[in-house]
Amino acid sequence: MGREQHRAGEARLRESYAALPHDAPVRLAKRTSNLFRGRTSGAAGLDVSGLTGVVEVDGDVAEVQGMCTYEHLVEVTLAHHRIPLVVPQLRTITLGGAVSGLGIESTSFRNGLPHESVLEMDVLTGSGEVVTTKPGDDLFDAFPNSYGSLGYATRLRIELEPVPAHVALRHVRFHDAGSLADAVTRVVEDRAWAGERVDGLDGVAFSPDELYLTLARWTEEPGPTSDYTGQQVFYRSLQERASDRLTVHDYLWRWDTDWFWCSRAFGAQHPLVRRVWPRRLRRSDVYWKLVALDRRFSVADRLDRRAGRPQGERVVQDVEVPVDRLAEFLAWFDREVGMRPVWLCPLRLRRRDGEGGDRPWPGYPLDPGTTYVNVGFWGIVNVGPDAPTSPRNRAIEAQVSALGGHKSLYSEAFYERAEFDRLYGGAHLAEVKARFDPDDRLTSLYDKVVHRR
């Protein structure tokens, strides 16, 4: 994509913003979404059709449009033998979405979160102007976890890292969460395990006494590779083999094919169904559309009633807890929620190159000296008539806060305003918003994620 095309796409975005009535909600006209919280409908979206590409790849830096999906971004950068420092798990997550809404993956234990590799970005603000902002600027530092309440990224310059052709995997089993947490701490400190370098680190907890860390190592070593886009399912391989090898491309999208393990809800893991389900339709955005249909027609609720099961509460969350509280959280989670498997992804904020300090991120204020573990869990818990009040989700919020953690805001949230502002830098965010959105055209973060406007 040329720069003239980018400028034309940006102009269309500004024009569509200017055409909106001042009292109309502002949102993007996107075909896909990875949000799991409802919102009021009926409003027209901003035209982002010209902001979906890669402008340039120059060595270890890429200039990318805000609505470019990671699927397309990776396709372009792999042709240069490079990838973004963090590639979120799902293909249709956009770069702008990962920066404004946070993203995470197995390289986060050494590269932090996607916004920490951004060198510069342009943001369409509430004033209707496109502002260029860099690290250290108030707008730049407040933008992560703002979810469109400060504007939308139109162009980002990001760091890339070189990668070879393959990824060698080791699946290491642990018999309790405490031992796994200790191993995470060692890997984060040493960037190695049993004498081998570790480039990617995540895991799965199948039960309290069956947990795995997957240790990934970039490699040019030749050898056969596995294919989990066919009959085999990736997460099951952790229990079936101690080592594996994938192409870099397949490693990056290993979770997308079956939406981690959530495709089983649609029968996509049944051998007979899998044979007739086209490969091109085994991907997260297809499953997400099926979920949207279920929401619209209440299919799961009807099936539960017919089967005599208690009413279900949707529990779709990602939370970050300090690694030394992981075992405590999982024990509580097993008692109070009882959902397995769960995904485990260690992360640590990245230090700035050439500087002794750490970059502040007021909208998601993790301690720069602490290793956290993201715990991801997605499904339905049959809780009975209290399900509409979301008792499990509310309990999870309280427990994560009690353990010194945070939860991602892509899904439902129930915080009271004071607690929300304390956890997510509400006062600072409001101050920055007032400067760049003086007419208050953009929906506030609290209203977006709690009131779902």
| 374 DSSP β-pair partners | 320, 345
Q: Both tokens of residue 434?
A: 């007032």
- Judged against a pLDDT cut of 50, whether residue 355 lies above it is answered with no
Mean per-residue pLDDT for 48-67? 96
Q: Measured over all CA atoms, what is the biggest interatomic distance in the chain, rounded to whole angstroms? A: 62
Confidence (pLDDT) at 224: 95
Q: What is the CA radius of gyration of the chain?
A: 21
Q: Enter the tokens of residue 49.
A: 């059709």
Q: Who's near 428: CB < 8 A, 6+ residues apart? A: 142, 362, 363
Give the integer Cα–Cα distance in Å for 238 and 427.
44
pLDDT digits (tens, 9 = 90+) for 122-153: 999 999 999 999 999 999 999 999 999 999 99
Sorting pLDDT into bands at 50, 70 and 90, what band is 293? confident
Q: Where are the alpha helices (DSSP H) in 311-408?
A: 326-336, 391-402
pLDDT score for 323: 98
Residue 42 has pLDDT above 60, yes or no: no
Please count the other Cβ atoms lying within 10 Å of the Cβ belonging to residue 439.
9
Nearest-CA neighbor of 66 among 49, 79, 83? 49
How does pLDDT run across 367-425, given as a tens digit for each residue? 989 999 999 999 999 999 999 999 999 999 999 999 999 999 999 999 999 999 999 99
Structurally, what CATH architecture does the domain formed by 3-163+433-449 represent?
2-Layer Sandwich (3.30)
Give the tens place of pLDDT for each residue, 412-453: 999 999 999 999 999 999 999 999 999 999 999 999 999 887
- pLDDT tens digits for range 246-279: 999 999 999 999 999 999 999 999 999 999 999 9
Nearest to 63 by CA among 9, 113, 131, 6: 6
- At residue 1, the pLDDT reads 73
User: What's the pTM?
Assistant: 0.95
- How many Cβ atoms sit within 10 Å of the Cβ of residue 11? 13
Q: What is the pLDDT of residues 204-253, one digit of tens each?
A: 999 999 999 999 999 999 899 999 999 999 999 999 999 999 999 999 99
The pLDDT value given to residue 206: 98
pLDDT of residue 146: 97
Percentage of residues in the chain having pLDDT higher than 70: 96
Q: If you average pLDDT over every residue of the chain, what do you get?
A: 93
